Amino acid sequence: MLKRAILLVGHGSRRSEANDALLKLKEMVEWKRPGSKIAYGFLQFAKPDLREALALLDDGELEEVTIVPVFLYDGIHMQEDIPAILAAEAVDRPRLRLVLAPVLGIDERMAEIIWDRVDAAPKL
pTM of the model: 0.92
The CATH number for 27's domain is 3.40.50.1400
Query: What's residue 1's pLDDT?
Result: 75
Residue 52 structural domain: 4-120
Q: Residue 99 contacts by C-beta under 8 Å, 6 or more apart in sequence?
A: 64, 65, 66, 67
The C-alpha atoms of residue 52 and residue 7 are separated, in whole angstroms, by 11
Query: What's residue 69's pLDDT?
Result: 97
Query: What's residue 3's pLDDT?
Result: 95
How many residues are recorded in the chain? Answer: 124
**For the chain, how big is the Rg over CA atoms in Å?**
16
Q: Quick count: other Cβ atoms within 10 Å of Cβ 79?
A: 10
The pLDDT profile of the chain, 124 residues, written as one tens digit per residue, is 779 999 999 999 999 999 999 999 999 999 999 999 999 999 999 999 999 999 999 999 999 999 999 999 999 999 999 999 999 999 999 999 999 999 999 999 999 999 999 999 999 8
Overall number of domains in the chain: 1
